[in-house]
Amino acid sequence: MSAPNPASCPTIGIDLGTTNSLVAVFENGQPRTLANEFGEELTPSVVAVAEDGQLLVGRAAKDRLIVAPGSGQACFKRDMGTSAEYRFGGKSWSPIVCSAIVLGEMKRIAELHFGAVPQRAVITVPAYFHDQQRQATIEAAQIAGLGVERIINEPTAAALAYGYSNPEREMRILVFDLGGGTFDVTLLEIFEGVVEVQASTGESRLGGEDYTDALCLWLENRHQWQPQPAARGAWRQRVEVAKRQLSASESASLYLNDGLVQVTREDFREATAAIHARLRPVVARCLRDAGLQAVALDDILLVGGASRMLVVRDFIQDELKRISSLKIDPDRVVALGAAVQAGLCASDSAVADIVLTDVCPHTLGIEMSKELAYGQSEPGYFAPIIDRNTTVPVSRSKLFHTLHPQQDHIEVRVFQGEARLTRDNQKIGEISITGGLRHQPGLHRPGEVDIRFSYDMNGILEVEVTALATGKKQSHVIEQRPGCLSQREIQAAIARLQPLKLHPRDLLPNRARLERAGRVYAELVGPAREHLNAVTDQFEAALESRDSLAIKQAAAVLDSFLRGFFEHEGEAPAEPPASP
């Protein structure tokens, strides 16, 4: 007689959402979401401490927060990868620890179903999560006692769930993912079981919660009223309910200052117009990066609870001239996709024909110095190595050289982002190399270093720096502790805030011009970006020279480039700044 099989739990798929989290598994050829003992599949991503000191998670924590707003924390996903600290229950809590508590709850729900503790998980993150936020998510899983099988982008997971259930269809879809606190747009092609992400872009601090905040503010202004601080949680909750009602009906009513007030969808549209102005460029950028026009799309997949809002659907219809006809529950589709990915990781035969390719959603590069006039150099410029929307995994390298023949040490500062100056991008780590760089007789290629970036399927970056003269290599997985600033960085930030002496660069029209150039730079890739970079360099060099004629000429060239871009985008350029 053989021994009974010990109970086991498959790898679980977790959608760790800003507002709600879900857990799913891939079983018998199908993904399915799991419910807790109350039959609920959505667990609010909220942590709180009860009056008696007990730790609460999920619905209980959410309810407690409504009556005692200072007793816990919601929306901590927005702070992942930062040094944010919350104080409640007499203790301080980090976003990582709060996320770990929610992941622990997901683990517990899976255990309820399988009678065994899950060991590994596929966890979804917004496509726009940067390296530190992904690392923070991995650490949260480790704290919860879960090994991470794969980190997968939320819109990609949604597409995978869709592609899995419709393998025979060949189509180009736009995934419009508006969650509680993040917004991602992803373009993909699905054909014969291949799910190919072509471009992905987003805004990491924009989502359904901003709609609730905007409606709160609009109502407070309209009625010249503000809740007492202790009643703010309950007030916000009433507005949240009204917001949801407006997804199904033309108007909603709610109690404000003991009286019943009405809010219509038109009011809601007015209250949230500024948010839509922030969604628009993200959609345009994604289409542009994929080299597609809206007419080429076959359909739109809506993901995230906030995509239920009718004002959002109207926005999509206005922007893309079509409505979404894909019917998958926007709350569950990401978790289902995570479960399909878990099946792929476990080589489940049911998914043997599915192939998934994803992209790196940010540009990754290093900081470099530019040689200016008079033999001077200026640090702080971004040198891209991997362009955004390159298919992953990917490994790319570029050659750099030291600034001075006697230099024998370099610090490679790694950044991600779309801005031309590194101070406007996200620093994700640093690596230094000493020796073998200085000019010496007999040394071949002194001063040259090869910098290689390798970006894996989880969105984790490895950097390798090789001094070409000696072949000496330094490898480094970027692992900067979230939110930790060195003394030098703090000093640099303070120095930046010091009032600057009035240099032509700081005159308002020139600042505005450089800001606009920076904004357009972020929108472009490849040769157009390089061209703009060169034109901006010339303008900066002219500013540096303080020669007013040179400044005027360089400004005209830069303005003409910017005008060309805005005309092409069909966007009215801002009033051209007056020349200095």
- Residues acting as catalytic residues: 15, 77, 154, 177
Strand arrangement, sheet containing 171-178: 299-303, 171-178, 183-191, 194-203, 355-360, 390-392
- Residues 389 and 128: beta-carbon distance below 8 Å: no
Q: Please say whether the beta carbons of 309 and 246 come within 8 A.
A: yes
From the list 33-41, 79-87, 203-211, 439-447, the region that binds ligand AMP by CB under 6 A is: 203-211
**Binding status of residue 204 toward ligand AMP by CB under 6 A:** no
Stretch of residues binding ligand AMP (CB under 6 A), selected from 25-33, 195-203, 237-245, 421-429? 237-245
For every residue of 311-342, which 3-state class applies, written as one string? HHHHHHHHHHCCCCCCCCCCCCHHHHHHHHHH
The one among 139, 203, 209, 367 contacting ligand AMP by CB under 6 A: 209
Burial class (CB in 10 A: 0-12, 13-18, 19+), 186: buried
Count of all residues that appear for the chain in the document: 580
Of 19 and 536, CB closest to ligand AMP: 19
Binding segment for ligand AMP (CB under 6 A), chosen from 11-19, 129-137, 216-224, 564-572, is 11-19
Which of 244, 276, 322, 472 is the binder for ligand AMP (CB under 6 A)?
244
Q: How far is the CB of 137 from ligand AMP (least distance, A)?
A: 14
Looking at the Cβ atoms of 211 and 455, the one nearer to ligand AMP is 211
Residues 6+ apart with CB under 8 A from 509: 577, 578, 579, 580
Of 128, 132, 135, 134, which Cα lies nearest the Cα of 156?
128
The whole-angstrom separation of Cα 109 and Cα 40 is 10
**Closest to ligand AMP by CB, 56 or 275:** 275
How big is the site for ligand AMP, counted in residues (CB under 6 A)?
18
The arrangement of strands across the sheet holding 46-49 comes to 55-57, 46-49, 72-74
- Interface residue with ligand AMP, options 20, 99, 363, 454 (CB under 6 A): 20
Nearest to 339 by CA among 65, 561, 34: 34
Distance CA 328, CA 143 (A): 32
Tokens of 558: 């830069």
Please identify, using beta-carbon distances, which residue of 157 and 410 lies nearer to ligand AMP: 157
Q: Which residue is nearest to ligand AMP (CB)?
A: 208
Q: In the set 10, 14, 16, 18, which binds ligand AMP (CB under 6 A)?
A: 18
Does residue 99 touch ligand AMP according to CB under 6 A? no
Contacts of 443 by beta carbon, 8 Å cutoff, 6+ apart: 436, 469, 470
Q: Please identify, among the stretches 24-32, 290-298, 305-313, 483-491, the one whose residues bind ligand AMP according to the rule CB under 6 A.
A: 305-313
Task: Quote the least distance from Cβ 20 to ligand AMP, whole Å.
Answer: 4
**Is residue 24 within 8 Å of 13, Cβ to Cβ?**
yes
Q: Which is nearer to ligand AMP, 334 or 532 (CB)?
A: 334
Specify burial of residue 528 (Cβ count, 10 A radius: 0-12, 13-18, 19+). middle
Half-sphere exposure for 351 (CA within 13 Å, toward CB): 27
Q: Which is nearer to ligand AMP, 237 or 474 (CB)?
A: 237
Told to check if 31 binds ligand AMP by CB under 6 A, we report no
Instruction: Report the DSSP beta bridge partners of residue 365.
Output: 384, 415
Contacts of 470 (CB under 8 A, 6+ apart): 435, 436, 443
Place of tokens 């117009």: 273
Cα distances (Å, whole numbers) of residue 275 to 177, 213, 214, 279, 557: 15, 11, 9, 7, 33
Check binding of 305 to ligand AMP (CB under 6 A): yes
Using rule CB under 6 A, residue 155 touches ligand AMP: no
Of these, 46, 103, 151, 309, which contacts ligand AMP (CB under 6 A)? 309
Residue 337 contacts ligand AMP per CB under 6 A: no
Name the minimum Å distance from CB 328 to ligand AMP. Answer: 13
Contact 183, 155 (CB under 8 A): no
236 near ligand AMP (CB under 6 A): no
Rounded CA-CA distance 501/226 in Å is: 42
User: Could you say whether residue 179 binds ligand AMP (CB under 6 A)?
Assistant: yes
| Min dist. Cβ of residue 339 to ligand AMP (A) | 17
- How far apart CA 136 and CA 95 sit, in angstroms, is 9
Residue 247 touching ligand AMP (CB under 6 A): yes
Query: Using CB under 6 A, which of the segments 96-104, 202-210, 374-382, 566-574 binds ligand AMP?
Result: 202-210
Q: CB of 455: closest distance to ligand AMP in angstroms?
A: 26
Pairing of strands 194-203, 426-434: unpaired
Of the residues 306, 328, 410, 522, which one makes contact with ligand AMP according to CB under 6 A: 306
Q: What x/- string results for residues 391 through 420 when contact with ligand AMP is judged by CB under 6 A?
A: ------------------------------
Instruction: Pick the stretch among 18-26, 214-222, 396-404, 498-506 that binds ligand AMP (CB under 6 A).
Output: 18-26
If one asks whether residue 304 binds ligand AMP (CB under 6 A), the answer comes out as: yes
567: phi then psi, degrees, rounded to nearest 5? -65, -40
Nearer to ligand AMP, 180 or 337 (CB): 180
Cβ closest to ligand AMP, residue 307 vs residue 533? 307
Least spacing, CB of residue 19 vs ligand AMP, in Å: 4
* The binder of ligand AMP chosen from 134, 243, 427, 513 (CB under 6 A): 243
DSSP state of 427: E
Element housing 212 (H / E):
helix 208-222
Select from 180, 384, 447, 577 the one that contacts ligand AMP (CB under 6 A): 180
Point out which residues bind ligand AMP (CB under 6 A).
17-20, 179-180, 207-209, 240, 243-244, 247, 304-306, 308-309
